[in-house]
Structure 1
Amino acid sequence: MLLAARSQLIEWFKLNKTVANLITGLFIAVITTLLFVALGLLKGFSVQSVIGFIVVAWLAVENGGNDVSKGIAPLLASGAASKQTALIYGAGVTIIGGILSIFISMKLLKLFTTGLIGSGFPITGNMALMIAVGAALWVALATRFALPVSTTHAIIGSILTVGSLTYGLSSILWGNLVEKVVMPLLFGPLVGLVIAWLLTYVIKYVRLPLQAGKILIWLSSGAICFVRSLNDVPKIVSIAVMAALIGIDGAEMKTLFSLFLLITVAMGIGSLVKGAAVTELLSQKVTNLDDKSSLSSLLTTSLLVMFASKFGLPVSTTHVSSSAIIGSNLHSGVKSVNWVIVRHIVLSWIVTVPGAGLLAAAAFLFYRIL
């Protein structure tokens, strides 16, 4: 009886891969959050806040599954590591970056809690839940279909939609959106492509010992996983702060550290469990990377994202790394790039803000009906 039920469950999961993908991420988030509660790392919060943390941890899991590929895809493409080794390495460095992000990337935390919606329009716990649901669903669906998308864009789309539905369009700080979010995200891919293209030519004429080249690939791959964690963890923690209805300035450092740790652990597990699909796409299907082009794309991405983290600019690691991978191999000719895959990737970027916004709106309206 039990064996039959088990077989039916496995068969159902095979036939419903999209639903199974969503359930996997949510299950990881539930277990991780409840473990933190059981260990006393999240004390004094209401049931609603804990539910909010679970949803936000779900977003972190999906972010890890989609974004770890940006750092390790060239590592895999160059033959420096196997897929499993690359995933373990990427997840480990992601966790280190997430833990340190509380001390380094506070500018991003404040931007995403106070920089998009006016101060006269408070973010409620329910609004934060809908924001997290919209972003998590979009990133999870993108990961299911092996599309590298921007969690930053998904969060922004959800915030704009939920804020507009609650308070109206006048509640959105459009000036901050253009200056601090839209412009960096718009020019990130272009800058990444051009720098990677130029850097590849430089690296071609530098005779590095084979071992030194491999070491640089490992180091730059780790740097991307590290800095993208510095960039993304504060954004996701900011939603957890909203869900708990605590202010950044008024929150105890112990509470903030617990939230940073929760999001970091969830992101690390997501990177390991769900990171294979997008990694395979970027490493094998966009273009063929050799040691030199892999190193070029990795150096370009790590330097640009590190620069963005230092100055509090929420650039998309997805856009920068994907364009760097394309640019690093253009020296081999336009035909060296699979433009059909590139077109699908760019289209997914374009529809991420409205797509996540629509999912957040659906969650918002569903909640209102209940």
Structure 2
Amino acid sequence: MGYDLAAFATAFVSDPVLAVIVVLTLGATIVNGATDAPNAIATVVGTKAMRPGPAIAMAAVCNFVGLAGITMVSSAVALTIFKMVDFGGNNHAALVALAAAMVAIIMWGVVAWYFGIPTSQSHSLIAGITGAAIALQGGLAGVNGAEWMKVLYGLVVSTFLGFGTGWLFTRLIRVFCWRAQRSRANAFFKWAQIISGAGVAVLHGAQDGQKFLSLCMLGIMIAMSGTVDGNVTFPFWLILLVSAVMSLGTALGGKKIIKSVGMNMVKMEQYQGFAACLSACFCIGLATFTGMPVSTTHTKTTAIMGVGAEKSIRNVKWGLAGRMVLTWVLTFPGCGLLAFVFTHLFLMWF
């Protein structure tokens, strides 16, 4: 069955359940743009390489370019999310469960944004659809263990590789540039940091945007054809729509997260900000092209911690880092439980 824009528009108008699914998914995408995307350019603002306004505008544009451009080359992350759970053969119940997952994801993300906590919308998304699938199937039968393992691999990459490469890149820069004139070095690393920050924003668009693109396509496929094809091809109009919505979210929000991550966690110089962005680019890029869903927030934060630890372990505000880790630890059971409860409630009501 074709999923061209005209066919989708007809189905969207005639099927209220599909309309709710799409609106909720795009709403979750906006929340992601407001909460996760600013982390890409947090250090650029924290080191005063760019002012918050222009930095957020750059991130919004790069989010759009990253999702629209990289997805045309590789949709590995989207396919991982697409295959992670099975909502079963009842199309109506599957759509209700997907709607419940989206409500849980949005609620969790809005609360985190309100308190300025850089929680992971990626982890919320994974927890939400998993909790909904468990509720619908009455157990773990609806969870694809092989795809879920990629989430665990992603946690390792974002935590240990993020911290390690942040530390390593900072050390290498100090070793190779120790004779450089400070003013010239700062001028160079200011622009290098802006470019690498843009790179992180591009990869965030591809990594996180593909997750919401996948869920939107899952809802469309269930509603329009009643079957889920693992060899899905994402229509270009949908890629552009999700890209634009994520960019809108980035443009509308983000200053609280920028302050928490880029300015409160560790005080950095220009070269350190560049090292953090370079580390995030490496880790997120590796995960994106190998199909591992990772948290941009998680990766960038651990990279910043690695950068601070290279000079002195006391340079890192571990109390704030501990709050973030606690939030990450709570996200999987918390958001998953919300989705589980909402799924049962929605099935009773609808």
- Pairwise same-fold verdict (TM > 0.5): yes
Structure 2 residue runs of 5 or longer lacking an equivalent are none
Superposition deviation, residue 140 in structure 1: 1.7
Aligned CA distance change for structure 1 residues 270 and 287 (closer, same or farther; 3 Å): same
Structure 1 residues 201-239: Cα deviation after superposition (integer angstroms, max 9, x where no partner):
111232364432222111100000001111111211111
Aligned CA distance change for structure 1 residues 209 and 55 (closer, same or farther; 3 Å): same
- Are 2:325 and 1:346 aligned? yes
Corresponding residue to 2:84 among 115, 118, 121: 115
Partners of 1:324 and 1:136 lie apart in 2 by: 27
Aligned CA distance change for structure 1 residues 101 and 160 (closer, same or farther; 3 Å): same
- 1:188 is matched by which residue type in structure 2? S
Structure 1 residues 62-121: Cα deviation after superposition (integer angstroms, max 9, x where no partner):
101111222111100111111111111111111111212431332222211223338778
- Are 2:147 and 1:168 aligned? no
Note if contact 2:82-2:218 (Cα within 8 Å) is conserved in structure 1: yes
Superposition deviation, residue 42 in structure 1: 4.6
Superposition deviation, residue 40 in structure 1: 6.4
Question: 2:19 maps to which residue?
Answer: 50
Structure 1 residue runs of 5 or longer lacking an equivalent are 1-38
Number of residue pairs aligned between Structure 1 and Structure 2: 330
Corresponding residue to 1:182 among 138, 142, 152: 152
Give SS of 2:48's match.
coil
Superposition deviation, residue 174 in structure 1: 5.3
Q: Greater relative contact order: 1 or 2 (C-alpha under 8 angstroms, separation 6 or more)? A: 2
Partners of 2:18 and 2:112 lie apart in 1 by: 27
Aligned CA distance change for structure 1 residues 188 and 335 (closer, same or farther; 3 Å): same
- 1:104 is matched by which residue type in structure 2? V
Question: 2:203 maps to which residue?
Answer: 227
- Are 2:256 and 1:277 aligned? yes
What is the percentage of aligned positions where both structures have the same residue?
Answer: 20
Corresponding residue to 1:288 among 267, 275, 280: 267
- 2:307 is matched by which residue type in structure 1? S
Corresponding residue to 1:125 among 95, 110, 122: 95
Aligned Cα root-mean-square deviation (Å): 2.3
Note if contact 1:118-1:171 (Cα within 8 Å) is conserved in structure 2: no
Partners of 1:141 and 1:289 lie apart in 2 by: 28
- Are 2:255 and 1:315 aligned? no
Aligned CA distance change for structure 1 residues 198 and 41 (closer, same or farther; 3 Å): farther
Partners of 2:237 and 2:110 lie apart in 1 by: 24
Q: Which moved more, 1:39-48 or 1:240-249?
A: 39-48
Aligned CA distance change for structure 1 residues 216 and 252 (closer, same or farther; 3 Å): closer
Aligned CA distance change for structure 1 residues 177 and 40 (closer, same or farther; 3 Å): closer
- Are 2:302 and 1:333 aligned? no
Note if contact 2:88-2:142 (Cα within 8 Å) is conserved in structure 1: no
Question: 1:106 maps to which residue?
Answer: 75
Partners of 1:333 and 1:41 lie apart in 2 by: 58
Question: 1:87 maps to which residue?
Answer: 56
Give SS of 1:44's match.
helix
Superposition deviation, residue 136 in structure 1: 1.7
Q: TM-score, normalised by structure 1?
A: 0.83
Partners of 2:48 and 2:156 lie apart in 1 by: 32
Q: Which moved more, 1:88-97 or 1:358-367?
A: 358-367
Partners of 1:226 and 1:191 lie apart in 2 by: 20
